[in-house]
Every structure is written in structure tokens, then in C-alpha cells.
């Protein structure tokens, strides 16, 4: 096991009615002037936005709002939010929504106190030294942004989708998690969220670090729980207990717990981010296509971790590592297909992907060589994209 430091300071309030703590939690972090950030309208239709505003009014908290954040969020909305915060003297951001809304809220939070262009942080030119506090009311378990220190934004000029990772500054101060708020999710968003949270575990599980049994076992337990409850939630979207297990798994999958003591990988995410930036697909659906392709490449070149996954999580009994890993991938694909996820570019709605462009942008944005489990250059990543055809 490698040395590590782990600080996951977000306060989680979980369960029915969790969103009713919003005014109290905002007050506890010293909020006086709040900007509410939300997406394309699901929180308006469900009445959640109004319920949040009523609570802020009752607590005499000034608030303004920024709606219209789109999935795979882009820089213009961040700039609009930064300007609005400055005009109205906002000291706290409240994200009501999913990963796209939370990531936009985080980017605004980093940009407001900074004199230069907020993209400097995403471009790696500057390090965040100050940010407004962010609180979250989560409506979709998927990206795990409610507990992560990351924010993924696309710069429209050149379509650069970049994930900024911070240890501290971009971690929300609190996250209110009510599984009932996820009852209204369309089936394809529920399924995509499940693929995304599983991917967050796989990215840490495919690690070259040896002897991280405790982190491996936590990861395997989470994966098993997710797949068990995924089936229930797809069959009955209003199954509270299943929704609750999925929601908490999504947070634990990405708040750093599954990475403790080891080097992480992140190739599948890097490769998917290029697909969702160029083709606008749902992140989790893109991952369902890339993950089996990535794992197939690994089964053929470095099969031991895939074999362990296959045996411990998918019940494969094959002795040969490569064959075991391949059988595990078959079972993962069958699971994805059973919850309606795509498995190929074609099923994702991209009949002729421009693989040359994806590979070029991938290495432009992420470096010539990528990956923790194996180091991959353009020849290898092209092969993985082709395995997803």
C-alpha cells in the first residue's frame, strides 16, 4: 500500500427530507448571499427549486439564481455566473441538481475571487488558492461531484473537456441527499449514473499498486451493492431502499475512499470525456461503451486485476487470468445491456466516430502518455477506441 492522505470534509445529510436542512446548513457555513445554480428545468418541474427558495426566504437569506446549466457544461455559463455573483455580492453557491450543475457551481466558486480568467485553473496555468463555499442538493446519483474535489468543464473554443482535480478547494461544504428526489429520473439517466459510479470505482481498482486489500474489498463490495440495487431500481423507480443504496454508493464511489493507498488509472474517463465533448452524449452512457473496451485491452496485456474483478465480483471460476478477465467483461456487458446501456459507438448513436480526432484531442488534452495501470500512447488508445466499434 502507498502512503496517502485522505480528507473528505463534506458534511452529508442523507434520507427523506434531507433538502429541508438547506437553510440551516447554509447558515452553518456563514452564508448570507446565495446564488442557486440549477439545470434545464427538472428542479422547476418537480417543485424542488421553489421549496428551496421558500426555506431561504424563511431564513432571510438573500438569493439570486442561475438556471439553464446543460449536461456536459461549458465555459459561457460559468462566466455568466461569475459576473452575476460579482454584481450581486454573492458569498455562497448552492447547486441544486447533478454533476453538471455542481461542476458549474464549483467553477463559478473558483472564478469569483480570482482576478484572471477562471479557465487558467483548468488549463493548469494557475492553482486555486481561494474559492466561495459550495453547498449541494443532489438530484441524480452519478458523477459523485457532491463529494469530490473535481469539476469538469468544456471550453467551447476547441471543445476541450477538462477535469480539474483539487484536494480541498472544490469539495462541497455540505451535500443533502434525499433518494426520493431521484424518483423522477428517466431510466436512461438512472442507468448512465450507475455506469458512471461503477467507472469511478474501476478507475481506482485498475491500479498497479500491490497489497491494497482493504481498498480492493471496499471497492468490490460497492460494485456488488450497486449491481444488486441497480436491477431493483430499474424495475421499480420508486423503490426507496434501492434508490438510497444507489445514491450513497455514488457518493462513496468518488469521494476518494476507493483510491486510498494506491495509484489510480483514469484512462476510461479521459477517453470518454473526448466522446462527450465532441458528440454531446451522456457521460455514463459513453463510459458503458469505453469500459469494456478498456478492460478487453487490459485482459490481453495485463490481465491480473481484471481477473481478480471477474472472480470476486462476477463469480467467474476460470483459473487462467486472461480467460477469467474476458469472462468477467462478458458478464459486465450483459449487466450493462440488462439495464439498457449501450455497448458500442453505434448503440451510443455515433455510427462513424472520428477516431483519429478523438485520439488527437485525447493526447492534446491529457498528455502524450496516459494511464496508471498501464502507460498508453496514441497507438494503444486508438486500439481501445476501435475495440468499442
Residue 279 grid cell: 458528440
Nearer to ligand NZQ, 8 or 308 (CB): 8
Q: Which of 244, 242, 192 is nearest to 18 (CA)?
A: 244
Q: Which of 370, 378, 220 is nearest to 306 (CA)?
A: 220
Q: Name which position in 40, 208, 330, 346 contacts ligand NZQ (CB under 6 A).
A: 40
Residues binding ligand NZQ: number (CB under 6 A): 35
* Residue span binding ligand NZQ (CB under 6 A) among the ranges 55-63, 148-156, 236-244, 375-383: 148-156
Q: Name which position in 143, 257, 285, 358 contacts ligand NZQ (CB under 6 A).
A: 143
Q: Name which position in 25, 196, 216, 229 contacts Zn ion (CB under 5 A).
A: 196
Instruction: Tell me, rounded to whole angstroms, the distance of Cα 27 from its chain centroid.
Output: 27
**72 binds, options ligand NZQ, Zn ion, none, Cβ within 5 to 8 A by partner type:** ligand NZQ
* Residue span binding Zn ion (CB under 5 A) among the ranges 50-58, 154-162, 195-203, 326-334: 195-203
Radius of gyration of the chain (CA): 20
The answer to whether the beta carbons of residues 312 and 222 sit under 8 Å apart is no
Instruction: Tell me, rounded to whole angstroms, the distance of Cα 267 from its chain centroid.
Output: 14
Task: Give the N- to C-terminal CA distance of the chain in Å, as an integer.
Answer: 37
How many beta carbons lie within 10 A of that of residue 153, not counting itself? 25
* Residue span binding ligand NZQ (CB under 6 A) among the ranges 38-46, 210-218, 303-311, 370-378: 38-46
The conformational region for residue 158 under phi > 0 = left, psi -120 to 50 = alpha, else beta, is: left
Q: How far is the CB of 327 from ligand NZQ (least distance, A)?
A: 27
Q: How far is the CB of 154 from ligand NZQ (least distance, A)?
A: 8
Interaction residues for ligand NZQ, span 240-259 (CB under 6 A)? 254
Q: Does 274 bind Zn ion (CB under 5 A)?
A: no
**128 binds, options Zn ion, ligand NZQ, none, Cβ within 5 to 8 A by partner type:** none
Write phi, then psi, for 363 (nearest 5 degrees).
-80, -25
Q: Does 42 bind ligand NZQ (CB under 6 A)?
A: yes
Q: Name which position in 144, 179, 342, 371 contacts ligand NZQ (CB under 6 A).
A: 144
Q: Name which position in 81, 99, 328, 342 contacts ligand NZQ (CB under 6 A).
A: 99
Grid look-up 488549463 returns 123
Q: How far is the CB of 140 from ligand NZQ (least distance, A)?
A: 4
**185 binds, options Zn ion, ligand NZQ, none, Cβ within 5 to 8 A by partner type:** ligand NZQ
Encode burial over 13-28: b for 16+ CB neighbours within 10 A, e otherwise: beeeebbebbbebbee
Q: Does 71 bind ligand NZQ (CB under 6 A)?
A: yes
Between the CA of residue 271 and those of 176, 193, 275, 300, what are the distances in Å? 31, 17, 7, 19
Q: Does 298 bind ligand NZQ (CB under 6 A)?
A: no
The answer to whether the beta carbons of residues 268 and 291 sit under 8 Å apart is yes
Contact positions vs ligand NZQ (CB under 6 A): 39-43, 71-72, 97-101, 103, 139-140, 142-145, 148, 150-152, 163, 181-182, 184-185, 189, 193, 196, 254, 269, 283-284
Amino acid at each position: 500500500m502507498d502512503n496517502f492522505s485522505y480528507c473528505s470534509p463534506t458534511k452529508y445529510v442523507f434520507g427523506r427530507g434531507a433538502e429541508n436542512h438547506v437553510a440551516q446548513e447554509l447558515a452553518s457555513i456563514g452564508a448570507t448571499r446565495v446564488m442557486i445554480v440549477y439545470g434545464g428545468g427538472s428542479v422547476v418541474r418537480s417543485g424542488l427549486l421553489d421549496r428551496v427558495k421558500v426555506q431561504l426566504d424563511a431564513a432571510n437569506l438573500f438569493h439570486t439564481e442561475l438556471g439553464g446549466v446543460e449536461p456536459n457544461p461549458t465555459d459561457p455559463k460559468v462566466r455568466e455566473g461569475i459576473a452575476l455573483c460579482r454584481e450581486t455580492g454573492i458569498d455562497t453557491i448552492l447547486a441544486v441538481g447533478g454533476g453538471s450543475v455542481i461542476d458549474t457551481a464549483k467553477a463559478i466558486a473558483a472564478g469569483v475571487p480570482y482576478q484572471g480568467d477562471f479557465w487558467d485553473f483548468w488549463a493548469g496555468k494557475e492553482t486555486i488558492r481561494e474559492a466561495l463555499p459550495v453547498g449541494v442538493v443532489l438530484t441524480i446519483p452519478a458523477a459523485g461531484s457532491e463529494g469530490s474535489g473535481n469539476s469538469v468543464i468544456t471550453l467551447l473554443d476547441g471543445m476541450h473537456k477538462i477535469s480539474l482535480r483539487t484536494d480541498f478547494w472544490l469539495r462541497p461544504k455540505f451535500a443533502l441527499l434525499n433518494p426520493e428526489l431521484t424518483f423522477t429520473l428517466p431510466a436512461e439517466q438512472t442507468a448512465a449514473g450507475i455506469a458512471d459510479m461503477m467507472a469511478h470505482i474501476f478507475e481506482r481498482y485498475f491500479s498497479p499498486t500491490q497489497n491494497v486489500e482493504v481498498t480492493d474489498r471496499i471497492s468490490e463490495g460497492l460494485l456488488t451493492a450497486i449491481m444488486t440495487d441497480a436491477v431493483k431500481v430499474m424495475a421499480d423507480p420508486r423503490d426507496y431502499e434501492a434508490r438510497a443504496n444507489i445514491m450513497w454508493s455514488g457518493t462513496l464511489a468518488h469521494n476518494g475512499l476507493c483510491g486510498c493507498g494506491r495509484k489510480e488509472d483514469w484512462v476510461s474517463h479521459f477517453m470518454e470525456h473526448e466522446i462527450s465533448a465532441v458528440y454531446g452524449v451522456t457521460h455514463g452512457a459513453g463510459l458503458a461503451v469505453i469500459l469494456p473496451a478498456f478492460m478487453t485491452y487490459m485482459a490481453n496485456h495485463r490481465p491480473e486485476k481484471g481477473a481478480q474483478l471477474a472472480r470476486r465480483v462476477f463469480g467467474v471460476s476460470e483459473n487462467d487470468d486472461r480467460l477469467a478477465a474476458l469472462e468477467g467483461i462478458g458478464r459486465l456487458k450483459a449487466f450493462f445491456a440488462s439495464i439498457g446501456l449501450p455497448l458500442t459507438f453505434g448503440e451510443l448513436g455515433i455510427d462513424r466516430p472520428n477516431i483519429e480526432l478523438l485520439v488527437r484531442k485525447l493526447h492534446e488534452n491529457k498528455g502524450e502518455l496516459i494511464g496508471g495501470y498501464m502507460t498508453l500512447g496514441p497507438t494503444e488508445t486508438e486500439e481501445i477506441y476501435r475495440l468499442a466499434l
